[in-house]
Amino acid sequence: MRTALFLQTYAISLVTFLLLDFAWLGLIARGFYRQHLGHLLSPDVRWGAAISFYLLFVAALVVFAVLPAVERGSLVRALLLGGFFGVVAYATYDLTNLATLKGFPSLVAVVDMTWGCALSATVALVGYLFAARG
């Protein structure tokens, strides 16, 4: 894949990820997380850490899901690799929290890993559709 196409695919994937995740965290699931994790939530977002996560996660999603799917010309591969990458990455966070934090809710882990899977599969699909046309 050409560098310009990679960067464009990354940008489209990043915007898609941000829009979906902000809608999820800010609108759809905001009350859920506050109800179950309110005692752990910081009153202020640490934007440096958040931005670093988004930049790194989407880069890895493009490299490990979108690019292999484009190489094979397979939309299904984009969905499957994206979903698998998302569930594994989110499970790393959630299962570590379940293992090490007192009172971390199992329900939050399940919901969060499901969201990670769905979000990543969707972003990989969008990235694939963009890259495959170019």
Q: What angle do CA 19, 124, 12 make, to 5 degrees?
A: 50
Rg of the chain taking only CA atoms, in angstroms:
16
Return d(Cα 109, Cα 95) in angstroms, integer: 7
> The whole model's pTM is what?
0.94
**Exposure pattern of 86-116 as b/e (b: 16+ CB <10 Å)?**
bbebbbeebeebeeeeeebbeebbebbbebb
pLDDT value at 34 more than 90 = yes
User: How many domains does the chain fold into?
Assistant: 1
Q: The domain containing residue 91 runs over which residues?
A: 3-133
Q: What is the pLDDT of residues 59-75, one digit of tens each?
A: 999 999 999 999 999 99
Q: What is the pLDDT of residues 10-19, one digit of tens each?
A: 999 999 999 9
Q: What is the pLDDT of residues 36-55, one digit of tens each?
A: 998 888 889 899 999 999 99
